[in-house]
Chain A
């Protein structure tokens, strides 16, 4: 997957819970960017855990990685952090803490991969985006079909800062991802999007928390998933607008396509609003491939299975075209296509 990323500004490689590589290019080094193993005194890794898996991670974390982008530094190439599992019976607690200084800009890709092992991972990622900074984060979960993963991600977005968080989930036996986006400073904005595609007996579980703490904050969420075979997905999303967060705009959309009769998808949106001066909306759908869309393509001579592949890839494309690293979009498109063509997920 390194090939997909193209030229990177920095790379950290963690294998079975051990950091095996941590390097930055000259430009990033000269700009004062830091990419390294955390020291015990690092505040960045001291963030309070959000749940019991966060607590487990805090207790057992072995190789926390810290990324620090100084004020005003704007990286043009992405940083990659790859977490790789290739040992059976391993339990790992990856930790990544990213801090963007004021008015800085960066893109970071986290890739969770593995061979076909029977292991468990509970990663925690904290993303701190300071005033007027712009940060794009892509998390790809492509673990093997027997891996269990329970991931936490907390982003804190400062005044006039922007966080773009993208997730893709294709792997794992049971894979949960919780993403909390705290819009702390006035005018902060958070765009959260995800694609997920279950197959076989997989269970994919997403929990999101758009937490509006500061005034005039904006959040926009779009999660799109497909489930085939006997796989299941659950999306649970909460928008919370605090009393002081007047002028909030918060949107949440979750769309699901069921590709087989035995697959199952559920969508659970929630709103908690303490202020009247807000604009909030949520929408969710679960259903099979749209019959009208399929008929339209078929009426132009496109065979049924190909029409369904086009519709599902097109469905995901709304998110994939937004990814900040073209190679990752292309790679994910390929993975989706392979799954549609070869794994018999279409009924």
Chain B
């Protein structure tokens, strides 16, 4: 069984989570394997971002049931940095500004904590920056400070490339950036799903199918009202594009209202 060493598994089992006492996730089940791209699509307020935050361990979310396993080991008891060391990466929808801390100094500390040589970081960063068309001087600037939406997402993608996680959760990677940046980021992620050792497994959370025209999903899940309501192939994303989420209990009037409020909403959607 030659492929055993190359395949990892991210397993989400009966995941329930609450925020401020309000139940948001009411039983999520899915499995992502190395090299697979899973899309989680859903209307606003369905729990998509909550899912990404709970997987990574963001403070403020209470897990009220279920497990998140990497190769059979439950990571929910671990602090976020240990989850990262266990091979998990979260590309954030709104990357946080950290004044006075450069991406390079952060990645050095990450390498050091994981027992890797931090002196490898500058070279890796330069290579990744070149690969996604990112100005190299940005890596010495404070993290995400004064970066445009596209630069922030390229920065997230650059870090993914340097840290080489086993699984990446992409939370609305396609929001707030132009088509060139989206293409550059999506292509880099797609390459990681083919070339890594093991190849990257992806959980791409998105409202729109925009990302999925650049990053081909193997499996599409529809998340609504805190649960996976349907699972299918890429054709499901195309169907959603035409019909919207009304079939899954979303109220179109509300969704339209939310859309106007979202400054990163896709104007072509």
Q: Which residues of A contact B (CB under 8 A)?
A: 290-293, 295-304, 306-307, 310-311, 313-318
Complex: A301 Cα to B163 Cα, angstroms: 9
Q: Is the CB of B113 within 8 A of A295?
A: no
B129 interfacial contact with A, CB 8 Å: no
Least distance between B145 CB and chain A CB atoms (Å)? 10
Q: Which of B87-134 contact A (CB under 8 A)?
A: 89-90, 92, 95-101, 105-107, 109-110, 113-114
B189 interfacial contact with A, CB 8 Å: no
Least distance between A194 CB and chain B CB atoms (Å)? 16
User: Of the candidates A293, A306, A316, which one forms a contact with B98 in the assembled complex, judged by CB atoms under 8 Å apart?
Assistant: A293
Q: Is the CB of B106 within 8 A of A295?
A: no
Least distance between A241 CB and chain B CB atoms (Å)? 29
Q: Is the CB of B80 within 8 A of A310?
A: no
Whose C-beta in chain A lies nearest to the C-beta of B142? A314
B11 interfacial contact with A, CB 8 Å: no
Least distance between A304 CB and chain B CB atoms (Å)? 6
Chain A interface SS verdict (over half): helix
Q: Which residues of B contact A (CB under 8 A)?
A: 56-60, 79-81, 83-85, 89-90, 92, 95-101, 105-107, 109-110, 113-114, 142-143, 159, 163
Q: Is the CB of B81 within 8 A of A301?
A: yes
Q: Is the CB of B99 within 8 A of A296?
A: no
Least distance between B60 CB and chain A CB atoms (Å)? 8
Least distance between B97 CB and chain A CB atoms (Å)? 8
Which residues of chain A are near B142, meaning CB under 8 Å? Answer: 314
Q: Provided the pairs A298-B79, A299-B80 are in contact, do residues A310 and B99 lie with their beta carbons within 8 angstroms? A: no
Interface centre among A295, A304, A307, A313 (most CB of B within 10 A): A295
Which residues of chain A are near B90, meaning CB under 8 Å? Answer: 299
Which residues of chain B are near A295, meaning CB under 8 Å? Answer: 58-59, 80, 96
User: Of the candidates A298, A301, A302, A318, which one forms a contact with B99 in the assembled complex, judged by CB atoms under 8 Å apart?
Assistant: A318
Whose C-beta in chain A lies nearest to the C-beta of B107? A300
A-B contacts, 16 of them at CB < 8 A, read A292-B96, A293-B96, A293-B98, A296-B95, A296-B143, A297-B81, A298-B57, A300-B84, A300-B106, A300-B163, A307-B81, A310-B101, A311-B101, A313-B100, A313-B101, A314-B101
